[in-house]
Amino acid sequence: MPNYYVDLLQKCVIAELTDPAQAQDLIANVGPRYGVIETATVLAAKAVTTPTGPAPAGGVEAGADYGPLVVQGIAHTPLVVADVFTDYDITPAEVHCDPGRYELVTDASGFVRDVTRLSNVPPPKDFLRVTTDATDDNPPDGYPDIPANGVSTCRIMIQKVNGRTGANMTAPEDNNLIQIATQAGKLSAVQMNLVNGYAEVVLTSATDTVITPVRAFDPSGALEEGAIQIQFA
């Protein structure tokens, strides 16, 4: 049965989980922001909205964040399905989330139409969203790529994000010290302070054909870690 990784605050699926055992582990250990939809219904890709104000149901402020999956080494295929609870008839039994943090809102027929965060629990921690200007075209397989020639580069962009709203944090005080790490290739810097909540580094490819995670994390632990996978093709 397919398992889908869902951002509960944005009500948007961001990936299909491809390892059933890992999916069951996630179901048993759901986190503060994400859940798993375990359903026989096949979900089709639907682009997210780009809101001008607060994100509506199914909207994502700045694209899907795969950091939690990458950091945990969870096998997945990127798949964005906006408005999943309004477009599909999904039962509460198919939605796995922390009942101490979220309430599933159903319609008269018993299908989930919304997910609300309970007011008596703290919001998820602010986090680092990691993106890149590398494109996914060699081949198009869900992983942004650059040539594995030891000289090609791409930008790695790091943005501090509000864990409750998903909005970018851009104030002068959003100047956390962060560290960046990769398992392959070379980074232009491995430690820096955010400036108005933002930083970027350059990743130079290795000569081996590999997929490498690039992680950004706060050594103090105040922010949730972010990550992205880059393919040297």
Nearest Cα residue to 227 out of 123, 150, 130: 130
198 or 138, higher pLDDT: 198
Domain termination site, one of 65, 92, 117: 117
Tell whether the model's pLDDT for residue 133 goes beyond 50: yes
Q: Are residues 131 and 220 in the same domain?
A: yes
Name the pTM for this structure: 0.64
Beta-strand relationship, 186-187 and 198-204: antiparallel
What confidence score (pLDDT) does residue 38 get? Answer: 96
Name the domain boundary from 98, 117, 136: 117
* pLDDT tens track for 189-227: 999 999 999 999 999 999 999 999 999 999 999 999 999
> DSSP character for 224?
B
Residues 7 and 104 in one domain: yes
Domain range for residue 57?
3-117
Tell me which of 59, 87, 117 is where a domain ends: 117
Element (H, E) at 214: strand 210-217
**Do the Cβ atoms of 107 and 113 come closer than 8 Å?**
yes
Q: CATH no. for residue 167?
A: 2.60.40.10
Q: 167 and 133 in one domain?
A: yes
pLDDT tens-digit series, residues 49-67: 654 444 444 445 556 788 8
Residues 51 and 81 in one domain: yes
Question: Does one domain contain both 79 and 141?
Answer: no
Residues 39 and 92 in one domain: yes
What pLDDT is stored for residue 49 in this prediction?
64
Can you tell me the distance from the alpha carbon of 161 to that of 67, in angstroms, rounded to the nearest whole number?
Answer: 12
- Taking the C-alpha atoms of residue 97 and residue 117, their distance in angstroms, rounded to an integer, is 11
